[in-house]
Chain A
Amino acid sequence: MSPDPVFELPAQCVTPTAAPIVIDNGSFQTRAGWAAPAAEFDSPRLLFRSVAARSRGAARSETQIGNDIPNLEPLRWLLKSQFDRNVVVNFEIQELILDYVFTHLGLSSEGSVEHPILMTEAPCNPLHCRQMMSELLFECYRVPFVSYGVDGLYSFYHNNNQRNLQRPNTGIILSSGYHCSHILPVVNGRLDALNSKRVNVAGSQAASYLQRLLQLKYPGHLAAITLSRMEELLHGHSYAAVDYHEELEKWRCPEFYEREVHRIQLPFSGKVPGGCVSAEERQERRAQQLRRLQEINTRRREEKLQQDQERLDRFLAIQELLEDGLLDQFHKSLMELNMDSAEELQSYINKLQLAVEQGRLKLLQSDGGEGKMENCHNFSPLYGATPAFNMAEYHQLFVGTERLRCPEILFQPSLIGEDQMGLMETLQYVLARYTPEQQEALVSNVFLTGGNMQHPGMKERVERELLALRPFQSHFKVTMATRPGLDAWYGARDWALEHPAAAGAEGWISRQDYEEKGGEYLSEHCASNVFVPMKLAKPVPVRPAEPPAALQTLTGASAASATVTVAPAPSLSSDSADVNMAAS
């Protein structure tokens, strides 16, 4: 990835009115650019992965963002994203990303960003997250106006304009991104949020599934099978089957396999597979181990033999004592040996003599045996021929049915163990909540968007499954976005051009709105979430003595003690009593 240039701030984006900056804040990629009518602003200026590489300790200041990182893999463990699933939770990193965006767009105004900002958010974005985002934009960057919208809806808006469909539009959007896929029904130009559904399977799950499959198939290449390479494979070499079982049957046939399998050549690594080349080494090692064991055995036998011999000698000496007639000494030694009579001594002597003889025999045998073994070993290297080893082939990955299985997890999450419904089953569930007339209207404009929908064959698959779901001979139409990954940005830009920012304009939140109605306020428009007004207690810092249980309990406590007397501050803290805080 080559680093992004720092663009010059174009004059027409400042005068006569400050042009809005459109930021499509995706969990995979961030796309940012100007919303200005001229042709040069037709595409997003900045397109980069939404990651920041932050190392710990002293190097923390050298954070690299997006395209500043030439290669993601060495820094994989340092990469952090502001997202948790499809929702922004880490606003420090969001701040870093916004800094990057504004710097590279050429902004240099002091103390504030003077352009209205249009950002995308998740469908049914939690209020806390919107509050934090608004706080970041209004307090830190002092933007004049902010607008939030859903990326799938912007894409829908853009494509409907392109197709000159009459407004207000009705349709159902299947949007599949990096972390989640959504089903968003749009009725008369507004999102029907209550009937929307989200399936937690999308691009990132497909990439990690592919990675695990290949790592298990090729355990020797564990480190070489990286997520970046998997994403390449997914984007370039995978496809969605129109009929999954039929397609799998095709893969059974060896000719089909030979034609369709994709051989991926990994870069050379010095690693040698454990076992192929060093057959001789293995034999050598085995021989060595055997020899060692035998040596130990013989040594042990020798020692035992020696001990027995010594004991035998002692006993014999004592017997001689008896024969010589030194009875007293004889009895004394017998007592020392803990024996009672001469017969016992004799039996011990006999046993020992037997044992000594056997030991000697065994030693002789093993010596002879060892000699034989060594002869054997000398022969084997002559006869053993190592098979011809192809280093290039060893570093090849054969990607066959995996090409088909990974996009399939969107339709059958049970492949990865998720028990949620797949995309089409969820669509059926959503449609069932409408009357048949509404269903007809919705299904006549099925719209596919999102980066994960770019697999070849997705549209045909959706059409085939929809045919199975809908009543006999009913009509439906499926459209794919013209640029599934980028259309959200284009749609947002179109919307911004058609709805210029002004105080009180539909869809725009002004600084005053933010201060009066709080950070979680949303101004609804045709491509936005539904706003359910709910007073979120604004976190107010409390005296340090108070132990913070939760943010909201903090404000509760502080509100109770009426510390806040800031005049234009939203009187949210006093309203916090309304909020049902279970924690307090």
Chain B
Amino acid sequence: MASQIPITVRAQPPTASAAAVRGKKRPGSPAVSGVQQAAVNSSISGSKKKKPPLTVTPATQTQITAVETVVEMKTVGSVDSTPTTTETVVKAPPFKDNTFMHSGIGGAAAGKKNRTWKNLKQILALERTLPWKLNDPNYYNIDAPPSLKPAKKYSDISGLPANYTDPQTKLRFTSSEEFSYIRLLPTDVVTGYLTLRKATCIVP
């Protein structure tokens, strides 16, 4: 398995550790390492400073990582920046592990493609696939249901209870002054009021 991968391992102690190799630390950051990526795509760049052996570095015989560390943090060049990227402007905070890379951004193999974080919708979609039982609470279970009471109508202009609706613009109003005001409104303002109520009709 390992042999299939063109590894350019740089003398890492094969300490097995719990941490798996993560994906890119920051998209486009010279801190990105993961040698398998270097083999696969040339997007890895940045001047890499090697730190003395870090316990986190996972280097099993099957895993690929020669995790290069960069005195990182804030220097980010473009993804295809040359190896002569600037050294760090800001020194990395000492209390963190500089070889850490998030596993969340699509994984090491994703390379350039899955660089963005999952948004809430995707995370919830993944959650739904887990084997929940009927009584387990989870994020989408606790969403409040749609209302059972009919919505009260309020004027779009003043907020007072509205008894009338303008057939032309579909805006609600309470008095004749409001009505004349509505009739003088430009169309973008009318659409704005309707969008506030989520009442814009797609079909003309």
A contacts, CB < 8 Å to B: 57-58, 60-63, 84-85, 87, 89-92, 95, 99, 102-103, 107-113, 122-129, 132, 135-136, 139-142, 182-183, 193-194, 196-200, 209, 212-213, 215-217, 219, 245, 248-249, 251-252, 400-402, 404-405, 412-422, 425-426, 429, 515, 530, 532, 534, 536, 538-546, 548, 550-552, 554, 561, 563-570, 578-583
Contacts and interface: CB of A to CB of B under 8 A. Distances in A.
16 contacts: A103-B93, A111-B97, A135-B102, A194-B135, A200-B143, A209-B196, A212-B192, A402-B159, A413-B147, A420-B143, A420-B147, A532-B136, A551-B103, A554-B107, A565-B61, A579-B129
A360 to B, nearest CB: 47
B201 interface: no
B144 to A, nearest CB: 5
A548 B114 contact: yes
B94 A541 contact: no
Interface in B21-44: 21-23, 26, 28, 34, 36-37, 39-40
A580 B137 contact: no
A89 B117 contact: yes
Contact of B126 (A128, A400, A402): A128
Given A129-B123, A196-B137, A541 B21 contact: yes
Nearest to B34: A541
Contacts of A123: 142
A4 to B, nearest CB: 15
Interface residues on B, range: 35 or more
Interface of B: 1, 4-5, 16-23, 26, 28, 34, 36-37, 39-40, 56, 58, 60-65, 73-78, 89-90, 93-97, 100, 102-104, 106-111, 113-114, 117-120, 123-124, 126-127, 129-132, 135-139, 141-149, 151-152, 154, 157-161, 186, 188-189, 192-193, 195-199
B108 A542 contact: yes
A141 B130 contact: no
B74 A61 contact: yes
Contacts of A252: 160
Given A61-B76, A199-B144, A426-B144, 14 more contacts: A62-B89, A124-B139, A127-B130, A128-B126, A216-B196, A248-B159, A417-B197, A417-B199, A420-B144, A420-B145, A429-B144, A542-B109, A580-B130, A583-B129
Contact of A579 (B64, B130, B135): B130
Contacts of B77: 58
Given A111-B97, A543-B1, A421 B148 contact: yes
Contacts of B186: 219
Contacts of A400: 158
A61 B74 CA distance: 4
A91 B130 contact: no
A87 B5 contact: no
A532 B19 contact: no
Contacts, number: 285
Nearest to B124: A126
A196 B4 contact: no
Report, nearest first, the 4 A-B pairs whose CB atoms are least far apart.
A417-B198, A541-B108, A414-B151, A61-B74
Contacts of B198: 416-418
Q: Which of B39, B96, B138, B198 has the most CB of A within 10 A?
A: B96
B142 A401 contact: no
Contacts of B189: 216, 219
A89 B131 CA distance: 22
B124 to A, nearest CB: 7
Contacts of B131: 534, 578-580
Contacts of B61: 565
B23 to A, nearest CB: 7
Contacts of A193: 137, 142
A3 to B, nearest CB: 15
A544 B197 CA distance: 48
Contacts of B120: 84-85, 87, 89
Contact of A126 (B123, B151, B195): B123
Contacts of B93: 99, 102-103, 107
B197 A416 contact: yes
B29 to A, nearest CB: 9
B61 to A, nearest CB: 8
Nearest to B131: A580
Given A61-B89, A110-B94, A580-B130, A139 B19 contact: yes
Contacts of A129: 123
Nearest to A568: B18
Nearest to B90: A61
Given A416-B197, A421-B145, A544-B36, A63 B119 contact: no
B2 to A, nearest CB: 8
Given A425-B148, A580-B131, A142 B97 contact: yes
A414 B146 contact: no
Contacts of A196: 137, 142
A261 to B, nearest CB: 12
